[in-house]
Amino acid sequence: MTPIIEVQQVNKAFGGLRVINDCSIQVAKGSITGMIGPNGAGKSTLFNLIAGALMPDSGRVLLEGEDITALSPDARFHKGLLRTFQIAHEFSHMSALENLMMVPPDQPGETLFTTWFKPGRVRAHDAEVRRRALEVIDFIGLYHVRNELAGNLSGGQKKLLELGRTMMTDAKVVLLDEIAAGVNRTLLGDLIGNIKRLNQEMGYTFLVIEHDMDMIAQLCDPVIVLAQGSVMMEGHIDDVQNNPEVIEAYFGGSAA
């Protein structure tokens, strides 16, 4: 399958500690690819290198064949590479709906000239953004709390809102960082369902870091296993969970 993300022989060290060690991965376009590994394997660092929060010491990151290694997170966002965070980054004093409406870039109301001299254009654009935000908040199952302050939402609802914010842009790839953390089982089912729908109905590609192995098993194929900053193996979750080296490194010597 055609790769949408390629990480090519990337290295990253902090002081004298090499965290990512000559690491190469590919994420196929249209896939939901999982990434697992023991604590300290380098998962979060590799995520940050792909998202642009960190720059590699060597190696390259490509998006649809384009070298984006030197681009800022903002520039990558404009190219359709988005990420969510383990701890939701909502605007707590704005409503859930307003949080979604904040996402689209380059809105005409952001410039003083357009606000003063082209108010009709601003109103029309705002109405379109609001219409889209209402569609998205209904899609993710939060319509009933659309006017609630985002800071008052439950942890699971905030994760759904994070996922919804990716839908307010022309996303190509979404990096999901521990999206199941702190989410109850009911809302986790909603999250999994929404991710599958975005993948199947809208063509989103996902790269998922997750400790919840049930979620990985339900969502991801293939699964990449990192250990000591390098790829240990890649394959279907059944093969991963039955690999003796993975069991030793990730499960502490036990498949339980």
At 137, give phi and psi (nearest 5°): -70, -30
**Residue 232 contacts residue 226 (beta carbons within 8 Å):** yes
Helix and strand numbers, DSSP H then E, in the chain:
10, 10
CA–CA separation, 175 and 172 (whole Å) = 10
Query: According to the per-residue pLDDT averaged within each range, which of 8-12, 36-40, 225-229 is highest?
Result: 8-12
Residues of the chain within CATH 3.40.50.300 domain(s) are 3-90+170-250
The pLDDT of residue 256 is: 31
CATH T-level topology, domain 3-90+170-250: Rossmann fold (3.40.50)
In this structure, are strands 173-177 and 81-83 parallel, antiparallel, or unpaired?
Answer: parallel
**Residue 168 contacts residue 103 (beta carbons within 8 Å):** yes
pLDDT band at 120 (very low <50, low <70, confident <90, very high): low
CA–CA separation, 10 and 1 (whole Å) = 22
Beta strand spans in 56-123 (E): 58-63, 66-67, 81-83
CA–CA separation, 188 and 177 (whole Å) = 14
Which two structure tokens, joined as six digits, stand for 182?
């702190």
CA–CA separation, 155 and 74 (whole Å) = 26
CA–CA separation, 50 and 76 (whole Å) = 9
Segment 196-229, tens digit of pLDDT: 999 998 899 999 998 888 899 999 999 999 999 9
The pLDDT of residue 90 is: 80
Segment 152-191, tens digit of pLDDT: 998 889 888 988 888 888 789 999 988 887 788 888 888 8
Closest CA to 84 of 199, 196, 194, 209: 209
